[in-house]
């Protein structure tokens, strides 16, 4: 009769093993501590730093017109001029006006909470991608400008950026359709989020087949239609021309990056066209030589997608190429193209 071997006892975890793991990878506890410390800092800023009056009153004026029944974007105006943001902005700031009664101090508290939520999302992205050492996470809490934009100026960029980071978080988890819906929500608050769209489109083409991309884009478009429906049904031309005005001329006084350019040049159409051509050209270069290098360049990726149209299967929405495997295993492969050129992932494009 064969003797049974004694059951294997479970390995007893040593008390110091957890601490040793934290020493090897202290990103998570450090991120939590940083989040707590920054929450205290935000409270101190709200309490002791004077509020900067720029756009809040204008936002409230524009929202008041909407709440009173105005649906013509040409008639929604504030102290700083006509409304130039999509419908998502109106809904969010209408809710803020209802909760705060238009008062600045309670709005600052809400924006402080939003700042902490945004920082938590960004920290989770950094921890997941591991693109910087743990101590470098502290740099995320040292930005005077970001604190100012959130709790001293109450800009709509705060909501747009938080939605954008949330979209990136879900993209890292391969939730492409959900990520696109949240990305579209960010666009509905401020149109400049579309600057991230080219890199996002490349990633979608690499992660999904053509019909998967189309379905994800359709979901994003549906969000825009539903949010803009009250305006599209009444004054569609006014809404589209104001909320998505690609030809708007900016004020030279508020420029940061092009302050050195003379104002006549800054507001000229030729300068705008030159910047647009340079931007699209650089995007093409990056797409060809960096983002699509595993496919052999941008033309090769496009040919691959065209070839998929002839062999489409309704049971397959996600690709199985080597690049797709990289997207699923290497989070930086998703984060870097979207954040390339931004201060969040400065070394990804080297």
In this prediction, residue 315 carries a pLDDT of: 44
Beta bridge partners of 82: 77
Number of helices and strands in the chain (H, E): 16, 2
- Nearest alpha-carbon partner for 118 in 147, 88, 152: 147
Tens of pLDDT along the chain (350 residues) come to: 444 555 554 445 555 565 565 556 788 899 999 999 999 999 999 999 999 888 899 999 999 999 999 999 989 988 777 889 999 999 999 999 999 999 999 999 999 999 999 999 999 999 888 888 889 999 999 999 999 999 999 999 999 999 999 999 999 988 999 999 999 999 999 999 999 998 899 888 888 888 889 999 999 999 999 999 999 999 999 999 998 887 777 777 777 788 888 888 888 889 889 988 998 999 898 888 888 887 788 888 888 878 777 665 544 545 545 455 555 545 565 767 666 534 333 334 33
DSSP class of residue 313 equals -
What are the sequence ranges of the domains in the chain?
25-247, 249-313
Residue 11 CB neighbours (<10 A): 7
What is the token pair recorded at 327? Answer: 């997207």
| In contact, 93 and 136? CB cutoff 8 Å | no
What is the token pair recorded at 202? Answer: 């490349």
In this prediction, residue 288 carries a pLDDT of: 86
Q: How far apart are CA 110 and CA 114, in angstroms?
A: 6
Q: How far apart are CA 278 and CA 272, in angstroms?
A: 10
Q: How far apart are CA 59 and CA 111, in angstroms?
A: 15
Angle at 127 between CA 121 and CA 131, to 5 degrees: 115
């Amino acid at each position: 009769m064969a003797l049974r071997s004694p059951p294997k006892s479970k390995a007893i975890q040593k008390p110091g093993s957890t601490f040793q793991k934290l020493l090897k990878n202290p990103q998570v506890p450090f991120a939590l501590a940083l989040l707590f410390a920054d929450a205290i800092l935000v409270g101190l800023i709200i309490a002791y730093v004077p509020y900067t009056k720029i756009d809040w009153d204008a936002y409230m004026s524009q929202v008041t017109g909407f709440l009173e029944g105005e649906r013509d974007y040409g008639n929604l105006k504030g102290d700083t001029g006509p409304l130039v943001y999509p419908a998502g902005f109106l809904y969010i700031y209408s809710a803020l006006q209802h909760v705060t009664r238009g008062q600045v101090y309670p709005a600052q508290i809400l924006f402080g909470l939003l700042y902490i939520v945004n920082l938590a999302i960004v920290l989770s992205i950094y921890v997941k991608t591991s693109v910087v050492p743990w101590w470098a996470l502290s740099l995320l809490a040292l930005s005077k400008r970001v604190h100012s934009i959130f709790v001293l100026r109450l800009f709509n960029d705060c909501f747009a950026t938080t939605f954008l980071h949330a979209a990136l978080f879900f993209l890292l988890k391969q939730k492409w359709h959900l990520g696109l819906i949240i990305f579209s929500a960010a666009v509905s608050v401020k149109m400049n989020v579309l600057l991230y769209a080219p890199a996002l489109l490349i990633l979608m083409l690499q992660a999904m087949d053509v019909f998967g991309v189309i379905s994800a884009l359709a979901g994003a478009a549906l969000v825009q239609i539903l949010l803009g429906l009250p305006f599209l049904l009444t004054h569609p031309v006014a809404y589209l021309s104001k909320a998505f005005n690609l030809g708007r001329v900016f004020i030279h006084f508020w420029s940061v990056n092009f302050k050195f350019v003379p104002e006549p040049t800054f507001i000229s159409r030729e300068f705008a066209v030159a910047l647009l051509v340079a931007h699209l050209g650089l995007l093409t270069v990056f797409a060809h030589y960096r983002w699509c290098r595993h496919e052999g360049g941008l033309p090769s990726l496009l040919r691959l997608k065209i070839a998929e149209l002839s062999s489409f299967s309704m049971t397959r929405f996600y690709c199985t190429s080597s690049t797709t495997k990289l997207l699923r295993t290497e989070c930086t492969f998703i984060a870097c193209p979207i954040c390339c050129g931004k201060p969040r992932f400065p070394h990804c494009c080297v």
